[in-house]
Amino acid sequence: MEQEIIRKWNALTILLLAASTLSVSAYALQVTETEDIKANDTAISIVTRNEWSARDPKMVERFTGTIPFVIIHHSYIPKACYDEDGCSKAMRKMQDMHQLKNGWNDIGYSFAVGGDGRIYHGRGYNVIGAHSPRYNDKSIGICLIGDWTIEKPPQAMLSATKRFIELSVENGFLSPNYKLLGHRQVRNTECPGQRLYEEISSWSHFSNKPAGPDDPEIPY
């Protein structure tokens, strides 16, 4: 009888230990996903994956080193959002499209920016993305949520994007000599929308090389 109780107790201990190990590793994954931004800047507000109710990535594949490129996208769909609720919903919709429909590990972008001027955490820094062939392991892919073909993105969105890029340099993730590109320069797409493309063409660090997706050279 006593032997039986001890056996049960042992089984319970093992179960509890396993459960606590599991919760520790889940916590570690979350910390990696959200705490890689050391931004302590009142001018910027970062919405964590927890806050927009992201699903966990299926897999996280990393690359090392200071990142040499920023690639700008628009979402086209979903349409623009202007508050945290709407933009969180847009993030979940993109994650559904990328992870469930396309079968990717996670939402494709490293980060996204809402019309509310907040930064939404996607895959994060130094995680191989799924947004720009040949550049996924050497760039930060930033999606400005909305369709910016004709309409200019709201000022809050543009300012937040610029500030976030600066912060990425200040925090050591992005190379001080980084090159800024639009998605259409590396893939046959109209992304990031004509109007947004014109806008980023005037930003510092914008590079007009490569001129298009057929340009085989990746400039460093």
Contacting residues toward Zn ion, per CB under 5 A: 73, 183, 191
Residue 111's φ and ψ, nearest 5 degrees, are -150, 165
DSSP per-residue letters across 6-67 = HHHHHHHHHHHHHHHHHHHHHHHHHHHHHTT-----TT-EEE-TTTTTPPPPS---B--S-E
In the bound complex, what is the minimum distance in angstroms from residue 192's beta carbon to Zn ion?
A: 6
Cβ 161 to Zn ion, closest distance in Å? 14
Q: Is the dihedral of CA 8, 14, 16, 18 positive or negative?
A: negative
CB of 102 to Zn ion, least distance (A): 14
Nearer of residues 121 and 183 to Zn ion, judged by Cβ:
183
CB of 73 to Zn ion, least distance (A): 3
List the Cα angle 201/203/207 in 5-degree steps.
Answer: 55
Q: At residue 202, what is the residue type?
A: S
The rounded distance, in Å, linking the Cα atoms of 96 and 55 is 9
The amino acid occupying position 98 is H
CB of 104 to Zn ion, least distance (A): 14
Residue 86 or 213 having the CB closest to Zn ion: 213
Shortest Å distance, C-beta 71 to Zn ion = 8
Return all residues near 203 (Cβ < 8 A) that are at least 6 apart.
Answer: 162, 180
154 vs 192, beta carbon nearer Zn ion: 192
The H or E element that residue 87 is part of is: helix 84-95
Of the pair 174, 181, the CB lying nearest Zn ion is at 181
Q: Which is nearer to Zn ion, 138 or 183 (CB)?
A: 183
Q: Considering beta carbons, is residue 39 or 218 the nearer one to Zn ion?
A: 218
